[in-house]
């Protein structure tokens, strides 16, 4: 099966955020309604997988490790691409109960924290999913650690659809969930693009100078780009562009290009069944041998071995 990225991609249009989400290959796993009332506080251990939470009604407090505590209100959406440890609680002091998120995946019903029975102070839909991409760690590192979006009705609608689909056993369920999660991720991430986010792709795309250069790089990954050429697209000097790109994206321009080419190469080898020489040409290498050397250094095995292992899997 071909990757949706290579089916949809137009030679004249490039959307780096959509491309990265597509190559992450999100896979829906689990969602559940969660509510709390009275005195309650739960700590979820570090999970590593991407997770999300949408507040359906009420308010609660969220304290993510390494981040300032925030108040969540009805209509809020939270996304954590790598899910560090965090505490969710009401606003009254309470003893913290430690939970393992992997043990919360029991089917059916609603998880209730604090006072049993009666109207809850907060009700939310929480869930997590997985990224199938072997380059997930690299791509997640380009995304914010915590995405908090407020008042975006499109997100609320998508979350409701994910919750309904996850709780019903209808034919085509998994395919629908995967598409919904892809759209959910894109909608959440593009709602937070600004030049004051942490270094990463979103900050780079929000930069009026760097955005055009990033889109050009993604539109033509096989081109023999130089820092000077990318700087010209950004209408900056070479040194100013290099410093700005590295500070905003978190990687130097050629380091980012190399990582992106390797991610594309993995996808071509895994899903499109192309020969090593053709993959090398598509991702900008002048010879199969040069590509094989670079790919082996990046992936720990030659591209031919990687392709055979992917087919077997």
Q: Which residue has the higher pLDDT, 145 or 217?
A: 217
Contact of 123 with 35, CB cutoff 8 Å: yes
Distance CA 42, CA 44 (A): 7
- Whether the pLDDT of residue 5 is over 50: the answer is no
What confidence tens digit (pLDDT) does each residue in 98-133 have? 988 766 555 557 899 999 988 999 999 888 888 888
Residue 206 — φ and ψ, nearest 5°?
A: -80, -15
**Of 130, 132, 133, 131, which is closest to residue 266 (Cα–Cα)?**
133
Distance CA 306, CA 265 (A): 10
Q: Which of 15-19, 72-76, 102-106, 183-187 has the highest mean pLDDT?
A: 72-76
Cβ neighbourhood burial of 124 (10 Å; 0-12, 13-18, 19+) = buried
pLDDT at 171: 84
**Of 304, 32, 80, which is closest to residue 188 (Cα–Cα)?**
80
Binning pLDDT at 50, 70 and 90, where does residue 1 land? very low
**Which stretch of DSSP H or E encloses residue 18?**
helix 16-24
- Whether the pLDDT of residue 197 is over 80: the answer is no
Query: What angle separates helix 210-219 from helix 253-267, to the nearest 10 degrees?
Result: 30
Task: Give all domains of the chain, ordered by start, each with its CATH number.
Answer: 4-190 (2.60.120.280), 197-313 (1.10.10.60)
pLDDT at 272: 64
- Whether the pLDDT of residue 153 is over 90: the answer is no
Q: Which residue has the higher pLDDT, 85 or 101?
A: 85
The stretch 39-52 carries a mean pLDDT of: 91
**Helix, strand or coil, per DSSP, at residue 122:** strand
pLDDT at 242: 97
The stretch 71-76 carries a mean pLDDT of: 92
**Helix, strand or coil, per DSSP, at residue 265:** helix
- Whether the pLDDT of residue 169 is over 90: the answer is no
Binning pLDDT at 50, 70 and 90, where does residue 195 land? low
pLDDT at 103: 66
Binning pLDDT at 50, 70 and 90, where does residue 75 land? confident
Give the strand pairing for 41-44 and 97-99: parallel
**Helix, strand or coil, per DSSP, at residue 32:** strand
The residue count of the chain comes to: 313
The stretch 206-212 carries a mean pLDDT of: 92
What confidence tens digit (pLDDT) does each residue in 240-297 have? 999 999 999 999 999 999 989 998 998 898 876 788 999 999 999 999 999 999 999 9
Q: How many separate helices (H) and strands (E) can be counted in the chain?
A: 13, 10
pTM over 0.75: no
- Whether the pLDDT of residue 219 is over 60: the answer is yes
């Amino acid at each position: 099966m071909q990757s949706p990225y290579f089916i949809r991609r137009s030679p004249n249009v490039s959307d780096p955020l959509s491309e990265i989400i597509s190559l992450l290959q999100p896979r829906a796993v689990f969602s559940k309604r969660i509510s709390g009332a009275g005195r309650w506080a739960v700590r979820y251990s570090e999970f590593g997988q991407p997770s999300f939470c949408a507040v359906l009604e009420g308010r609660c407090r969220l304290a993510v490790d390494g981040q300032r505590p925030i108040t969540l209100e009805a209509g809020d959406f939270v996304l954590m691409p790598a899910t560090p440890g965090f505490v969710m609680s009401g606003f009254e002091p309470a003893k913290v109960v430690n939970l393992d998120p992997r043990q919360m995946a029991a089917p059916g019903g609603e998880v209730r924290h604090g006072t049993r029975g009666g109207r809850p102070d907060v009700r939310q839909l929480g869930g997590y999913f997985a990224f199938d991409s072997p380059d997930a760690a690299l791509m997640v590192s380009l995304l914010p650690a915590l995405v908090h979006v407020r008042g975006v009705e499109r997100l609320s609608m998508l979350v409701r659809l994910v919750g309904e689909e996850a709780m019903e056993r209808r034919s085509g369920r998994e395919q629908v969930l995967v598409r919904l999660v892809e759209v959910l991720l894109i909608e959440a991430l593009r709602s937070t693009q600004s030049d004051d986010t942490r270094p990463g792709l979103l900050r780079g795309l929000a930069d009026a100078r760097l955005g055009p250069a990033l889109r050009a790089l993604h539109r033509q990954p096989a081109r023999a780009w130089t820092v000077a050429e990318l700087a010209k697209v950004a209408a900056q000097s070479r040194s100013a562009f290099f410093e700005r790109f590295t500070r905003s994206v978190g990687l130097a321009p050629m380091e980012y290009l190399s990582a992106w080419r390797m991610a594309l190469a993995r996808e071509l080898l895994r899903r499109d069944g192309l020969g090593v020489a053709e993959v090398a040409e598509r991702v900008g290498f002048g010879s199969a041998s040069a590509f094989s050397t670079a790919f082996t250094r990046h992936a720990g095995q030659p591209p031919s071995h990687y392709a055979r292992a992917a087919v077997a899997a």
